[in-house]
Amino acid sequence: MATTDNAAKYDIAYINEFYDYLPKEITREVSRKGMYNLAKMGMIQRDRMAEKAMANASNGKYQCISEDGKDFTDGTDMKTATVNYRNNSKGKVIITGIDTKVGPLRVMAYDYARETFRYYFIFDYDKVKSYDRIEFGIFSNSKYNNGDCGFELDSFEELANIESDYF
């Protein structure tokens, strides 16, 4: 699905974060500036690009397959999000579309207020699958970032290369 005009500016941040990890057959065809221009027009499919970059950054640990319930051959799925600051929130990550997922989630969340990315590996979310969403504060001691059901990582590379005993 194409990006709305309002969210296109966030796609540019994503492109900047993972462009160097995209497979060379993509970056030979479309320059960083070309991708920025496409993003400004709402013509970038950010999640698919993130999947391609994530698989490439894994150095062969898994491949991008985009099957029902998973995006990668290791059974994990990629999600992108933008930190939500509505309603005087201190910043929440809201991940939707999880009801059909079968394995751990590799989550990349853009925090526009701080112009940084946050990376999460979430391995236990069965109890909230029926709600089709995971929601947690970025500064809270949530089970999704404290190690109980997931944890926060420091970089795109670390998220791409994490191997889990949870699946």
What is the pairing mode between strands 64-67 and 70-72?
Answer: antiparallel
Phi, psi of 4 (to 5 degrees): -70, 155
Whether 101 is covered by a domain: the verdict is yes
Range of the domain at 133: 5-161
Whether 65 is covered by a domain: the verdict is yes
What is each CA distance from 99 to 96, 120, 160, in whole angstroms? 8, 18, 23
Whether 118 is covered by a domain: the verdict is yes
For the cut 80, the answer to whether the pLDDT of residue 146 exceeds it is yes
The DSSP symbol for 4 reads P
114 alpha carbon, distance to own chain's centre: 17
Q: Nearest CA to 133 among 75, 90, 79, 86?
A: 79
- pLDDT at position 157 is 97
The number of folded domains in the chain is 1
Whether 151 is covered by a domain: the verdict is yes
Q: What is the pTM of this model?
A: 0.92
The per-residue pLDDT for range 35-85, each reduced to its tens digit, is: 999 999 888 899 999 999 999 999 999 999 978 899 999 999 999 999 999
Whether 58 is covered by a domain: the verdict is yes
